[in-house]
Structure 1
Amino acid sequence: MAIFFCYVYIIVDSVIQLSGIATIYTAFFSQWEYMHWIMTGLLALMMIMVMLLVKPVRGPMFIPLLGIDWIGALLWAAFMMCFTFICVYGNYFDWWDSGEIRGAALLGIACLCINLWRASFLHHPYISFQAMKNRNVIRATAIYLVFFTLIATEHVFEHSYAANILGFDETNLIDLNWYVFARIIAGCAFTYFTFAIRKWRYKTMTAIAFGLAVIYLAYFYFVIDYGVEKEMLFVPLFIRGAGAVIISIVFLTSIVQSGLPFQVFPQALTINGFTGAVMGATFGPAVIGEILRRTMAKNADLLSANIVDFNPDLTHIPIARIYGMVQTQALVVSMKEIYG
């Protein structure tokens, strides 16, 4: 399974990066509407390939969609939607001072409690306690939340830094995806030869992934400035992406090898998808975004006070320009502080 997951992450993560590159360059060299025709053509090509190359196989028995806890599925989906809404729009609605966030929190807690109550007596709950209490599932959930919070600066800082501070246009921004694409290949290859083939330990692979995350944060802490060249961003983006791929493959494999029976195994994978793709991807940016908002307000106040106290000759400069200079400087200082 470790070998299989290496191939899976090469395909899935690579396609995510390449689709963004294809979209921007289609819009750059022609009209953005052509992307719809490209996607339609690729979907038609996929359908034709399936019809021509895949042979239908009829199993010895028919398995209908009976016995599935559809109510549990809807409740778990509602809980994850509420969790995502709070993390994504919490800063926008000013967190618990708004009725929207409080309502989403109450609805999410209610859905979670009902799910746990139903799992205590249903014969086939959507996610059973056996899956939720599995040691490897709990460990993977905790590691995902910690690790993806560490590298959440990817979603909060990097685009703003490259676009607003360095002045990159859309084509230069999307060129950074090639760096991420290279890290996917390197991270999967490294995991394949070490973890899948040579059977390196889980702790070793986890230490390597967290070490890469620390290098990524330290690199930006020492390098972030106003005049960074695009090529200088290759190292942090490469290292950050490789660490994320390693963590994902290693802990997905740990869930597979946790000894769960086949009936419970898909439930553990569902939890892995929730924690990795939903909670890990939204909780970290919400935390880092809130820290950035508070840190930037503090630094903007300090910089504004310094300008007023020590630069009386700046009175002839328009206030809007001074405000923009303060905000830009505060953003860079705050990002450096948070990276540290």
Structure 2
Amino acid sequence: MSNLIPVFKPWVPEWLIRITLLLVVLPGIILFSLSISNVGAAAGYYGISPNDAQYSMIILYAATASFVVLEKRFFRNIASKTYLLISVLLLVTTCYICYYVHTFFVLLIFRYIQGMLTCASLSITLTLMFTRLHSERSKEIGYSVVYCILLCVSPLSTLFTASIIDDFNFNVIYKCAIYSFLPGAILMCIIMNNVRLNRKLPLYQLDWASFVIYSAGLCLIGYIMVYGQQYDWFDDKRIVYSVAIVIALFAVFVFRQLSSKRPYFHIQAFKSRKFVLAALLLFVFYICRGAFGVTTSFMSSAMGMDPIHVGYLLIYNLAGIIVSVTISSRFLLMKKPLRHILILGFTLLLAFHVYMCFVFSSQVNTEDLIIPVVLQGLGAGMLMTPVILFVISSSPVQYGTTGSAVGIFMRFTGFSSSIALINYFQLYRQNDHANRFQEQLSQLNPLAVQKLAVYKQALTGKGIAADQATKIANGLLNKNINAQAQLRFAVDYYQLISWVLLALILLVILFPSANRTIINLKSRQPAPVVY
């Protein structure tokens, strides 16, 4: 960085710099959750399945995860102001195209490009943000604020997009994204000097081959996880071929990294048991985050809540996140044992999943969900900053940004695996419970007969003919059976997650070296894993 010219113009106050940086960061992060903020609306607008809508988000995530290492070379080659404006301008262009496009394949292409551009814009913005923070205390607070925003984006996007989609077509959210980029970009253009943050590195010997192999592998992993259940896993040739290609791609990728003088990232980092534990914690944490989708789905289907009211209930989740991020940040500043923070966070998530096993019912009220929703926010907020900093700090120093790259990979695979697990349980466990209920009906269970009589009496009381009332009553009973089967699937899945969390808590207790990990915040560059 130049010693003569500052990054920001001298007349700009510090508070304006920080607000402007946040205005640039927020739209980029929100792009991640647009596709899944309202899966039904996205699927309906583009004429695609809900799995297709989920995959459009996965493809963006895969692009970010694979480009994060290569992006650093571009970052070091172009002046900061130019780099930021190019990234934002191209992001606005892709949002404009996504606003007009109706073809799913074209949408996937530009969502992938958005992933790469989001990686670039967030990298420069977060780097600028952390260069303003000099003490370890201020950096810790900075990390906590960024991770808090990252956790809050999903419920916030649900809340804000619900009201938009209620009045407009789904594609309007891309127009809103365009407008959201403009204030931050205009302000940055005014207050920044066009200086370099690092010594310029020429764009030669870029490892495009590793990027293409790695990116293709991640896209296929996402494809397998999202569509595996829909195609009945290995009974379909598409899944079999995809798995074979993934294995081949990653075999080539690993061989290439081990034999290269300048590897894309260092496979040797996995020799550290502490690093493997940190990566495992991050993987399970994102599976648990994905499991929260079962609760929001329960609010919509079983309780009949519309997206706007689901968003209102998620405000309690936001409150829990903000409170617990503040507490975990304080714990880290006070040098509390990392193992204690991790145990507390995973225990809160365990309490949420166990609590929900008793809450899942067709008779539940909105007030009954407030406590578990807050618990989930408390657990997620307590873990987010410590777990990610644990991954970064446990990565051997000589391997550079490998910790950050692996961190994003574990987040990607954790989120994708969560989708696959939910799809699997929803099909097999829900069908299993539905079949059991149907068997009880075929045996003329007195409770079923009584329920049918209640339905029929209510319908005939409204003037419906007896034969028609019988047909409608049978339909209502079948609908009730499907609803109960869905509730049982939710209980089964949350019981599984509870056992996984319990095993993970025991692993942290029995792995004392987690306490000896030093959270390193001395680096002036932010970790890309924050995406």
* Normalised TM-score (structure 2): 0.59
The aligned amino acid for 1:280 is: G
Contact 2:155–2:318 (8 Å) recurs in 1:
yes
Contact 2:321–2:378 (8 Å) recurs in 1:
yes
Pick one of 427, 436, 450 that aligns with 1:302.
436
Contact 1:187–1:246 (8 Å) recurs in 2:
yes
Q: CA separation of 1:38/1:60 partners in 2, compared to 1, >3 Å: closer, same or farther? A: closer
Distance between the aligned counterparts of 2:228 and 2:355, measured in 1?
Answer: 30
Partner residue of 1:328? 483
Distance between the aligned counterparts of 1:289 and 1:249, measured in 2?
Answer: 29
Q: How does 1:21-40 map to 2 (within 5 A)?
A: 21-28=159-166, 35-40=173-178
Q: CA separation of 1:137/1:79 partners in 2, compared to 1, >3 Å: closer, same or farther? A: farther
Aligned residues: CA RMSD = 2.5
Unaligned runs of 5+ in 1: none
For residues 217-241 of structure 1, give each alpha carbon's deviation from its aligned partner in whole angstroms, at most 9, with x where no partner exists: 1111122211322233222222223
Contact 2:217–2:250 (8 Å) recurs in 1:
yes
Partner residue of 2:343? 207
The aligned amino acid for 1:261 is: V
Q: CA separation of 1:41/1:64 partners in 2, compared to 1, >3 Å: closer, same or farther? A: same
Contact 2:159–2:307 (8 Å) recurs in 1:
no
Partner residue of 2:188? 50
The aligned amino acid for 1:269 is: S
In terms of mean alpha carbon deviation, does 48-57 or 96-105 score higher?
A: 48-57
- Aligned to 2:397, the other structure's residue is in SS state coil
Pick one of 242, 247, 266 that aligns with 1:128.
266
The aligned amino acid for 2:268 is: Q
In terms of mean alpha carbon deviation, does 219-228 or 31-40 score higher?
A: 31-40
Partner residue of 1:70? 208
Q: How does 1:1-340 map to 2 (within 5 A)?
A: 2-28=140-166, 35-58=173-196, 61-150=199-288, 152-155=290-293, 157-195=294-332, 197-258=333-394, 260-261=396-397, 264-276=399-411, 278-309=412-443, 310-311=445-446, 313=449, 314=452, 316-318=470-472, 319-340=474-495
Distance between the aligned counterparts of 2:168 and 2:253, measured in 1?
Answer: 50
Q: CA separation of 1:232/1:65 partners in 2, compared to 1, >3 Å: closer, same or farther? A: farther
Contact 1:252–1:272 (8 Å) recurs in 2:
yes
The aligned amino acid for 1:299 is: H
Contact 1:136–1:254 (8 Å) recurs in 2:
no
Q: CA separation of 1:46/1:102 partners in 2, compared to 1, >3 Å: closer, same or farther? A: same
Distance between the aligned counterparts of 1:126 and 1:231, measured in 2?
Answer: 50
- Aligned to 1:208, the other structure's residue is in SS state helix
Partner residue of 2:521? none
Unaligned runs of 5+ in 2: 1-138, 454-469, 496-531
The aligned amino acid for 2:485 is: A
Distance between the aligned counterparts of 2:150 and 2:476, measured in 1?
Answer: 44
Distance between the aligned counterparts of 2:337 and 2:357, measured in 1?
Answer: 31
Measured after TM superposition, the shift of residue 57 of structure 1 is 2.0
In terms of mean alpha carbon deviation, does 297-306 or 228-237 score higher?
A: 228-237
Q: CA separation of 1:326/1:59 partners in 2, compared to 1, >3 Å: closer, same or farther? A: closer
Contact 2:322–2:381 (8 Å) recurs in 1:
no
In terms of mean alpha carbon deviation, does 56-65 or 38-47 score higher?
A: 56-65
* Normalised TM-score (structure 1): 0.89
Q: CA separation of 1:201/1:66 partners in 2, compared to 1, >3 Å: closer, same or farther? A: farther
The aligned amino acid for 1:231 is: E
Identity %: 20
Q: CA separation of 1:4/1:130 partners in 2, compared to 1, >3 Å: closer, same or farther? A: farther
Distance between the aligned counterparts of 1:60 and 1:165, measured in 2?
Answer: 54
Distance between the aligned counterparts of 2:314 and 2:352, measured in 1?
Answer: 16
Distance between the aligned counterparts of 1:39 and 1:171, measured in 2?
Answer: 19
- Aligned to 2:394, the other structure's residue is in SS state coil
The aligned amino acid for 2:310 is: L
Measured after TM superposition, the shift of residue 36 of structure 1 is 4.5
Contact 2:362–2:484 (8 Å) recurs in 1:
no
- Aligned to 2:324, the other structure's residue is in SS state helix
The aligned amino acid for 2:318 is: F
Measured after TM superposition, the shift of residue 180 of structure 1 is 2.7
Measured after TM superposition, the shift of residue 259 of structure 1 is 6.0
The structure showing larger relative contact order (alpha-carbon pairs under 8 Å, at least 6 residues apart) is 1
Distance between the aligned counterparts of 2:292 and 2:251, measured in 1?
Answer: 33
The aligned amino acid for 1:69 is: D
Structure number with larger C-alpha Rg? 2
Distance between the aligned counterparts of 1:209 and 1:293, measured in 2?
Answer: 30
Distance between the aligned counterparts of 1:273 and 1:151, measured in 2?
Answer: 15
Measured after TM superposition, the shift of residue 29 of structure 1 is 6.2
Distance between the aligned counterparts of 1:323 and 1:304, measured in 2?
Answer: 8
Distance between the aligned counterparts of 1:291 and 1:329, measured in 2?
Answer: 15
Distance between the aligned counterparts of 1:242 and 1:70, measured in 2?
Answer: 41
